[in-house]
Chain A
Amino acid sequence: MRLEPIARPTIWRSTLPPAIAIGATVVIASLLAMAAGGNPFSVLGLIIKGAFGSKFALLETLNRATPLIFTGLAVAVAFRARLWNIGAEAQLYAGALMTVVLGTGLLPWSGFALLPVLVIAAMLAGALVLLVPALLKVRFGVDEVVTTLLFNFIFLLFVSMLLEGPLKDPMGMGWPKSERLIAEARLPRIVDGLRLHWGFGLALIAAGVIWVIERRTTLGYEMRAVGLNREAAGFAGIPVNRVLVKTALLSGGLAALAGFSEVAGLKGNLTLDLSPGFGYTGIIVAMLALLNPLAVVAAALFVAGIFVGADSMSRAVGVPSYLADIMLATALLLMVVAILLTRFRVVRE
């Protein structure tokens, strides 16, 4: 068997495989739900209802989608330039760390002066975390998949050390958590009384900005050229290494915003369970969105909806919420195959 590229994909060729992938995901999830003793229709119905069925559910989904939009964008931007940033998790914690370092009283500013500073500082922290692997890559050819992945573990231990030491909340009853942010460092809610915070708004803005950067700016053109054909880009005079470093800074900064938004919008302090793997899930989000920044928003909502809905379903009928993980993994794997099939045809030899 061999793959043959398709010069001009038909409309069916480009839409049918992804649709089948989604359908197959639902079928597989149903079978598993049955195996766990649930009625597949009610399980799927409950997932959808639990994710989007009420105002509360919808807001919960939007909240959950917020960090995923940031990490999804971070991964999408990096992958676009073929910089394999697997370290969004570490960059997320870097952003969160910077937020609590500056936001717990170190900068005792009032009014809205503090938030922009925190945003910028968090982004710088995340950018710095990815800068090191990016420099190692362009200078010495060190594989960034390895460095960024391993750095996740190192950085989490570093955060753990700080939370057990200098950043530990003295009033925290001994738990490894930071002090709470001062009021001026908190992201306000979009509508009073509802749990949705401005982090979500910031995420939407970020998606729009990244879209504009990719389409309209010189840097975006360079990033796409470097990602699509590094050799041709270099030949044409595009400074490939400089573009990769800039991409790394942007990607790391975006991932850090996920940490900032979770701390300043939702949690109010930093703990080691701030992220249940948002950095890694961002890879799924970016892949499902085909690296398109606007589609990242939709993919993040889809992924967040499955998680939130599965939690609620699990409480109602007792089918384990791990179903959500399986659904996502299945959706991702099938989607990768489906994307391949939109561009290649399988030929038997």
Chain B
Amino acid sequence: MTDNGTARVVLRLDGITKRFGKLVANDAISLSLHEGEVIALLGENGAGKTTLMNILFGQYTADEGTVEVFGRTLPPGNPRAALDAGVGMVHQHFTLADNMTVLENVTLGTQSLLALSQRRAGAREKLARLSADFGLQVHLDAKVGSLTVGERQRVEILKALYRDARILILDEPTAVLTPQETEDLFATLRKAVRLGLSVVFISHKLHEVMAISDRVLILRHGKLVAERPIAEVDKEKLAALMVGAEVSAPRVEPGTPGAVLMQLDDVTTPDRGNAPGLKSMSLALRAGQITGLAGVSGNGQGALADLIGGLVSPETGRMELDGAQPTGWSPRVAVQSGIARIPEDRHRTGTIAAFDLTENAILETYAQPPYSRSGWMNWARAESFTRQIIDTYDVRCPGPGTRIGLLSGGNMQKLILGRVLEAAPRIILANQPVRGLDIGAVNYVHGQLLAARDRGAAVLLISEDLDEIMALSDVIHVISEGRLSPGFPRGRMTPAELGVWMAGQGFEPHEAEQEDSAHAP
């Protein structure tokens, strides 16, 4: 549907500018979306994609510029206006009530929950028609809490369609999906386009942008820097446009595996709220090898990270470090045993935002000499250590006395890397180490992990990004419902084959398996 000359413009943003203090989040951005078109909004974290969509949805008021839907200008700052005009948004984080059924969730806000059963029947009919038209299979009477992530996303899309949305905006919709679920989503989007809907697809995954969109718009530092028909670009060109320079990912040579440094035998850990714990998991981490852990988010990755990071002890089973079971397993013991921990959430668990770089750099080692002797801190030593990290790891900052909360995510992550790698760790737990980083920082972090591996460290790389896992790992395991797949050597599996495991199939029969078959439509 690239025939823009004839198709009607359904959405037009004109000169949108939004400033937050000195930061210009959106700088005079203009774009238009045609009927039956899919445009991709591509950009690094912080490029201004989300701000732009928040303006469209009246959550922010633009400092300058107008939003026009179907030829009518939306009043600024009114969240209902966009909805009423026929724009539907599927957020990255779902906005569904777990304890209600699909039907209730979809109709929530459009009619009273006590509405007459006749009107409910009407809603049911409409939804049945929509789900057939768009290929969105969901059981309308299932509680949302019992649905998989992919199914929940379908409910979100249904919700938008039910409110007669003609324009769908999807914010990073594939972040939580398996490759197969992503394919299903794309199939739905293609159907939607054929039925005359228009789609804005926000992402930073290049191959998905290539696969689904007709036109791609690239945002960088709040500016619209390029707008290309998809036929005229390829992944390399997009990456270059995104960061404004040619990028080179580190070359990955296969590692040479050595001795087993950490061994899990039949380990089980308690469930964590909605997320499963580990279910009799066995895993060996070898020196000189990157072990990749693939999986859909919330399938036990957190439990494994907590176990290795010292926050949780095995409920049953054995955990061995260098052939011996550690005693009094705790974060401090983990650090002292030579485990480097790069936490999943660098803002909430990795650093203390109001502390300066020095105070953050010694967060794990403050209690031992030279930083602490008989209860007194030696801040001079802590500061020289921090300067060393700043130099070695190229942390861009005004100085060691800067509050770390002021640093960009990439620089924050470099400080964390320095903090843990300077101790010459033997085991590295890298949990989503590049999430939210720009490509330059991603390459840097990956380079550091590879270098550590080549020095003989055992690296466990946990990521929801299958590309990252496949590029770096010498061995790949898939985690699903707290269970671990066998290890697949580098290059053995295709993304689709891993996707089957990620969807929870292939494991030995288990209660989860039976649930799956019971759910099948």
Contacts and interface: CB of A to CB of B under 8 A. Distances in A.
Interface of A: 4, 6-8, 216-222, 224-225, 228-229, 231-239, 345, 348-349
Interface in B52-67: 59-61
Interface string B346-358: 0011111111000
A217 B366 CA distance: 10
A219 B354 CA distance: 18
A236 B335 CA distance: 9
Contact of B377 (A4, A8, A221): A221
B77 A218 contact: no
Nearest to B336: A237
9 contacts: A7-B21, A216-B379, A218-B376, A224-B355, A229-B351, A231-B349, A237-B310, A237-B332, A237-B364
Contacts of A228: 352-355
Contacts of A233: 352, 363
A345 to B, nearest CB: 7
A216 B379 CA distance: 8
A225 B352 contact: yes
Contacts of A221: 359, 366, 377
A224 B363 CA distance: 12
A349 B59 contact: yes
Interface in B421-469: none
Contacts of A237: 310, 330-332, 334-335, 364, 367
Interface residues of B, number: 35
Contacts of A219: 375
B61 A349 contact: yes
B331 A234 contact: yes
A193 B309 CA distance: 64
A8 B363 contact: no
A232 B377 contact: no
A229 B21 contact: no
Contact of A232 (B20, B21, B309, B348): B348
B492 to A, nearest CB: 34
A58 B21 CA distance: 46
Contacts of B406: 7-8
A17 to B, nearest CB: 16
A287 B3 CA distance: 64
Contacts of A220: 377
A99 to B, nearest CB: 29
Contacts of B366: 218, 221-222, 238
A233 B366 CA distance: 11
Contact of A235 (B61, B311, B355, B372): B311
Given A224-B355, A236-B364, A349-B61, 18 more contacts: A4-B21, A216-B379, A218-B375, A219-B375, A221-B377, A222-B366, A225-B355, A225-B363, A229-B351, A229-B352, A231-B349, A232-B350, A232-B352, A232-B363, A234-B311, A237-B310, A237-B332, A237-B364
B418 interface: no
A343 to B, nearest CB: 10
Contacts of A234: 311, 331
Q: Which of A218, A228, A236 has the most CB of B within 10 A?
A: A236
Contacts of B364: 236-237
Interface string B1-39: 000000000000000000011000000000000000000
Contacts of A7: 21, 406
B186 to A, nearest CB: 34
Contacts of A4: 20-21
A236 B376 contact: no
Nearest to A226: B352
A349 B77 contact: yes
Given A229-B352, A231-B348, A235-B343, A349 B60 contact: yes
A290 to B, nearest CB: 13
A235 B309 contact: yes
Given A237-B310, A345-B21, A232 B376 contact: no
B59 A236 contact: no
A4 B20 CA distance: 9
Contacts of A222: 366
A348 B59 CA distance: 11
Contact of A218 (B60, B335, B377): B377
Nearest to B311: A235
Contacts of A238: 363, 366
B21 A235 contact: no
A211 to B, nearest CB: 14
B375 A229 contact: no
B351 A232 contact: yes
A329 to B, nearest CB: 28
Given A237-B310, A345-B21, A218 B330 contact: no
Contacts of A236: 331, 363-364
Nearest to A213: B375
Contacts of A224: 355, 359
Q: Which of A221, A233, A234 has the most CB of B within 10 A?
A: A221
Nearest to B367: A218
Contacts of B372: 218
Contacts of A231: 348-349
Contacts of B60: 349
Contacts of B343: 235
A36 to B, nearest CB: 43
Contacts of A345: 21
A55 to B, nearest CB: 41
B376 A216 contact: yes
A229 B349 CA distance: 8
A306 to B, nearest CB: 31
Nearest to B79: A349
Contacts of B61: 348-349
B29 to A, nearest CB: 19
Nearest to B351: A232
A349 B62 CA distance: 10
Nearest to B331: A237
Contacts of A216: 376-377, 379
A217 B373 CA distance: 9
Contacts of B379: 216
Contacts of A218: 366-367, 372, 375-377
Contact of A229 (B353, B367, B377): B353
A218 B332 CA distance: 15
A331 B335 CA distance: 47
B330 A235 contact: no
A333 B273 CA distance: 39
A123 B468 CA distance: 57
Contacts of B349: 231-232, 235
Q: Which of A232, A239, A348 has the most CB of B within 10 A?
A: A232
Interface in B321-371: 330-332, 334-335, 341, 343, 348-355, 359, 363-364, 366-367
B56 to A, nearest CB: 14
B310 A229 contact: no
A84 B69 CA distance: 51
A38 to B, nearest CB: 44
B355 A6 contact: no
Nearest to B20: A4
B350 A235 contact: yes
